[in-house]
Chains A and B, each alone.
Chain A
């Protein structure tokens, strides 16, 4: 019974072990310099304290929306990739259409300067 789970247990132990070893090594061996920017809380590049009703650049949204779109695309593609063998050629064509449509949108965003930071 327990033998069947043995590889799993070994993997868990190794996984934890490596993580802990690396952390300890960097703690012991690494040099350390504290700067104000480095010790502050990280919040997507924005100051974490102060009024929330502050105006900030729409560029963040452009990037964020693009990120979400392609993120979701990848989520769609995982199950598709796993089941592609059984779904056959029509699923392949359908996904190509999907990618083409997304690409058209991406192309438009690119040309309109939606991804230019300046």
Chain B
């Protein structure tokens, strides 16, 4: 059989499952467990298929200009690389972790509807399209599918004013950003007369394009994508949305969603930032774009970390820190070299484990109306929930980037990449901002461990969340102590 069928299997599977789970929802009546189990199963199957494709001969994310359309079924709308397959696994994993933690959480906060699981599967489907996109329209469809599911999910607690506010805010601003994105794509199409990224890259390599259109197109694309990853100055929505949305949803949005958005950044940058100097137009040259992205990245991490210091609400604090983490990941795009892209992979993975872990700890501790997630409420958590407090501390240390946890190596590779491409100043900014971030991460630990409280949060029931937490802990520790396990994964496979 055609090898392409196997390569495209993750995409086919997640699409089929996304449709099937909707049908299953329609016929399964009152039984919610079957939808839940089917959701988990479909994500596992997708991840399994992606792991299988890694064993096939897939290239790493090659330079799109060298990429030839050899695929007949998907007609060059998709690209199959080890990067895409890896991100498929990552998205599925995020979905699984979120679903496991969500079950008790959504029934605690509101009501368990089966659609919740369908929507998560659909969002993962959108992310998988992003990671395989070779066509700008495919990319757009993926981003939109993912974003629309996020709009719905963030308003899931529809009786709460904050949740509704977050959904509305996200929807309005998100659709505005989608407009930018689409207009940018149109201009890029106008400039190069193609929507396929490898063809665009070839046109750019041959200096065969309309420079004005391309410049504006790229600028608009950057704006749209910056919004999606919540980079400065388009980060304003993130704290409100992340705070208002249900906690498990925030976990999902701020990790998998961010990873997908940063991946779309990578594929756009790969095609539009060729690794040579282009003299036709100063603004399209790689150096200029790198510089713009570097400034964005530096501002993002500084703003995110400095603003997080003054937050009293833990969820909001983590939301701001998530903005800062987008800045760190942008460093890999700025570096625009193999090390940078590998660094993003590592960072996205470790960030997924630690951020989802931290949000899940929050989700099991918060009460019915999420009013007890201020710093003060966490006072004396050491006594009432010692294991959760210890887990939270580990995730905080990892987020702060301390060895021997996974977060440290993620930052380390990105620093390496940025220095290699000559952005030493960016690395110094990143280092300073991560020292700033330590203040609020360990500030939470001060509340949890060093202060005593008369009425700490009651002992939490973990249920299925414990599985998620355990996986997150293993991830943070394993990739912290043996980062080469992950970093050599695709090298060995290739």
Contacts and interface: CB of A to CB of B under 8 A. Distances in A.
Asked whether any CB of A lies within 8 Å of a CB of B in the complex, the reply is yes
Q: Which 9 A-B pairs have the closest CB atoms?
A: A111-B26, A108-B26, A104-B19, A108-B22, A104-B23, A104-B22, A107-B26, A101-B19, A107-B23
A105 interface: yes
Interface in B13-51: 19-20, 22-23, 25-27
Nearest to B23: A104
A111 B27 contact: yes
Contact of A100 (B19, B26, B27): B19
Contacts of B20: 104
A110 B26 CA distance: 8
B30 to A, nearest CB: 13
Contacts of A111: 26-27
A54 to B, nearest CB: 20
Interface in A55-112: 100-101, 104-105, 107-108, 110-112
Contacts of A104: 19-20, 22-23
Interface in B120-169: none
Contacts, number: 17
A112 B23 CA distance: 11
Nearest to A107: B26
Given A108-B23, A108-B26, 14 more contacts: A100-B19, A101-B19, A104-B19, A104-B20, A104-B22, A104-B23, A105-B22, A107-B23, A107-B26, A108-B22, A108-B25, A110-B26, A111-B26, A112-B26
Contacts of B25: 108
A100 B20 CA distance: 11
Interface of B is mostly: helix
Contacts of B26: 107-108, 110-112
Contacts of B27: 111
A91 to B, nearest CB: 11
A105 B26 CA distance: 9
Contacts of A105: 22
Nearest to A110: B26
Centre residue among B19, B25, B27 by max chain A CB count within 10 A: B19
A68 to B, nearest CB: 15
A18 to B, nearest CB: 44
Contacts of A108: 22-23, 25-26
A96 to B, nearest CB: 13
Nearest to B73: A90
A110 B25 CA distance: 12
Contacts of B22: 104-105, 108
11 contacts: A101-B19, A104-B20, A105-B22, A107-B26, A108-B22, A108-B25, A108-B26, A110-B26, A111-B26, A111-B27, A112-B26
Indicate the member of B20, B23, B27 with the most A CB atoms within 10 Å: B23
Nearest to A108: B26
A104 B23 CA distance: 6
A103 to B, nearest CB: 9
A107 B87 CA distance: 32
A107 B27 CA distance: 9
A104 B27 CA distance: 11
A85 B27 CA distance: 37
Interface string B61-88: 0000000000000000000000000000
Interface string B310-353: 00000000000000000000000000000000000000000000
A108 B19 CA distance: 10
A105 B27 CA distance: 12
Nearest to B20: A104
Nearest to A101: B19
A38 to B, nearest CB: 40
A110 B27 CA distance: 11
A107 B26 CA distance: 7
Nearest to B25: A108
A12 B25 CA distance: 53
A107 B20 CA distance: 11
B125 to A, nearest CB: 11
Contacts of A107: 23, 26
Contacts of A112: 26
A37 to B, nearest CB: 36
B4 to A, nearest CB: 14
A18 B26 CA distance: 49
B451 to A, nearest CB: 48
Residue of A104, A105, A112 with most chain B CB atoms under a 10 A cut-off: A104
A56 to B, nearest CB: 19
Contacts of A100: 19
A57 B25 CA distance: 25
Interface in A11-44: none
Nearest to B118: A108
Nearest to A105: B22
A117 B413 CA distance: 59
A53 to B, nearest CB: 17
Nearest to A102: B19
A108 B26 CA distance: 5
Contacts of A110: 26
Nearest to B72: A90
A85 B19 CA distance: 29
A107 B23 CA distance: 7
Nearest to A94: B75
